Structure 1
Amino acid sequence: MEATDLAEPHPVLVVPDPLVLADVPLLCERLCGLYGGGAREVVCDLAALTRADLVAVEMVARLRLTARRAGGRVRMRNAGAGLVALLELAGLGID
């Protein structure tokens, strides 16, 4: 799992594919580490995800909650149309 991209103004958290439920706490932990390192905003790159499912919805919800608890912000980018629709349906939206 790639952690950051130095070309970005904000750290980038890259979500792996396939994404399984066991990955979600690890992604949250990595996000906390980025905030602990001084980041105030993190970009979560969803480009690798090939399936829009409830695990992806859980991941987005948990990352947003982790960011809020850390006093930071997380932005999602490169989400596929299926995931965007599922997040809208769940009331989470994409950003």
Structure 2
Amino acid sequence: MVVLTGPVARDEVAGHCDDLHGLLEVTGLGIVVVDVAGLGPPGLWAVELLARLELTARRAGARIRLRNADPALRALLDLVGLRFQLERQAEQGEPAGGVEEAVQTADPAL
């Protein structure tokens, strides 16, 4: 997982892309989860960073999936036409992702 904090200056974007490329070369991952909770208020700098990270991942045969993307960031990405996979967050009262509730087949129907 990659954790981003921001805002990220334009001259730092290439370094983040190089780090991601190195991670993908070493691990061979197909999907890299990128936690964007620490980016702060979204702006065009965040759009550029995420677009370049996705391009870096695609060139390596992978994709990125955003974790903890706030509604303002999702709206900004939609506005500029960028679509990212989003890691589903459990709603209140739902089990965490990957947890399935057991069903008792011997229970009588109600």
Match of 2:108 in 1: none
Match of 1:42 in 2: 32
Which runs of at least 4 in structure 1 moved beyond 6 Å after TM superposition? none
Match of 2:58 in 1: 68
Q: For residues 82 and 20 of structure 1, what CA distance do their matches in structure 2 show? A: 20
How far did residue 26 of structure 1 move? 1.1
Q: For residues 19 and 59 of structure 1, what CA distance do their matches in structure 2 show? A: 8
How far did residue 85 of structure 1 move? 0.5
Matched, 1:31 2:20: yes
State the TM-score, normalizing by the size of structure 2: 0.71
More deviation, 33-42/52-61: 33-42
How far did residue 17 of structure 1 move? 2.0
RMSD: 1.2
Q: For residues 61 and 52 of structure 2, what CA distance do their matches in structure 1 show? A: 14
Could you tell me which runs of 5 or more consecutive residues in structure 2 were left unpaired when the two chains were aligned: 86-110
Q: What do residues 52-84 of structure 1 show as CA deviations (whole Å, max 9, x unaligned)?
A: 100000011101110110111211111111111
Identity %: 45
The count of aligned residue pairs is 84
